[in-house]
Amino acid sequence: MELSLPGKLIKRLSDTGIKSLDQNPLRSLGIIILTVLVLAAVFAPYLAPHDPKQTGIPHQSPSSEHLLGTNDLGQDVFSELIYGTRVSLTIGFLSGIISIVIGVTVGIFAGYFRGWAEELLMGTTDVFLLIPSLPLMIILAAYLNPSMWNIIVVVGLLGWCSTARLVHSRVLQVREMQFIESTRALGYSDIYIIIRHVLVNTKDIIYAKFSLAVASAMLSEASLSFLGLGDPLNISWGEMIHFAFSRGGFANDLWWWYLPPGLMICVTLLAFIMLTMEGRKDSKILELI
């Protein structure tokens, strides 16, 4: 029976697990936190009480005028934090998308076609898994101009290996299923089978892995920015901590300068991890980490 458009939409929504949210408090909490953060990022100019670039009296403690005090240039830390949400989330999402697209493509092709394609693709993945990613990211980011887009590309291009391995092992199971064999016997092309059947049957781990990929991209970005490789024009949370650390905020114990951005990173990462929790059966999904 063909459903009407709104009916289809509701079915779509309940397919993605919206319905089961009331049995899954952790996932609901994750969604709420992320919604708030995305709203804060979108409406940053309306929410921020000050212009984050406007300078004033430095090193002020938190007060009603400056909720989280000011930094060494007298900029309002709270406003900087809100604008930083934009940068950190953008970098996390875009790098996550790059890494998930590469990882899923590599994993599916290696798992579905087997043979030399598998040897080549998974061999490459194993090589990349062995290289410690932070030093390589540091080198690449140090050569490129310090800009947000370069960081997105560097983090995205180096974060796909674990996704590829995960998707590969799932596809190995899926391709042996009976219905795949029947579809193949019916003469459908490989690309059709991959898109309509294999991809659909791996989507649950792809969604979960995407959430974790964004989390780990944000963590990588924070580390790079902490090392001073961030974009000086788009200050992220990690970079706020870098400035607090290198310009004496840490040595002088100005906690309002470095602690809030750090806690924001923690809360955001926790929210992304919570999205992947499946109620009581959480043990399985934790393997994705």
C-beta closer to another protein: residue 22 or 281: 281
C-beta closer to another protein: residue 10 or 33: 33
Chain residues that interact with another protein, rule: CB under 8 A: 123, 126-127, 129-136, 138-140, 142-144, 215, 219, 222-223, 226-229, 238, 241, 245, 250, 253, 255, 258-259, 262-263, 265-266, 269-270, 273, 282-284, 286-287, 289
Shortest spacing between CB 161 and another protein, in angstroms: 10
Shortest spacing between CB 2 and another protein, in angstroms: 43
**Rounded CA separation 167/3 (Å):** 32
C-beta closer to another protein: residue 47 or 259: 259
Shortest spacing between CB 287 and another protein, in angstroms: 6
Shortest spacing between CB 43 and another protein, in angstroms: 25
Among 44, 157, 65, 145, which Cα is nearest to 102's? Answer: 157
Token couple for 162: 């674990």
Decide if 231 contacts 242 (C-beta within 8 A).
Answer: no
Shortest spacing between CB 268 and another protein, in angstroms: 8
Token couple for 126: 């194993």
C-beta closer to another protein: residue 83 or 226: 226
DSSP string over 194-234? IIIIIHHHHHHHHHHHHHHHHHHHHHHHHHHHHTT-S-SSS
Helix (H) / strand (E) element for 255: namely helix 255-275
C-beta closer to another protein: residue 152 or 265: 265
CB atoms near residue 195 (< 10 Å): 12
Residue 76 pairs with which residues in a beta bridge?
Answer: 70
Query: Given its phi and psi angles, is residue 12 left (phi above 0), alpha (psi -120 to 50 degrees) or beta?
Result: alpha
**Rounded CA separation 108/67 (Å):** 49
C-beta closer to another protein: residue 50 or 165: 165
Shortest spacing between CB 184 and another protein, in angstroms: 23
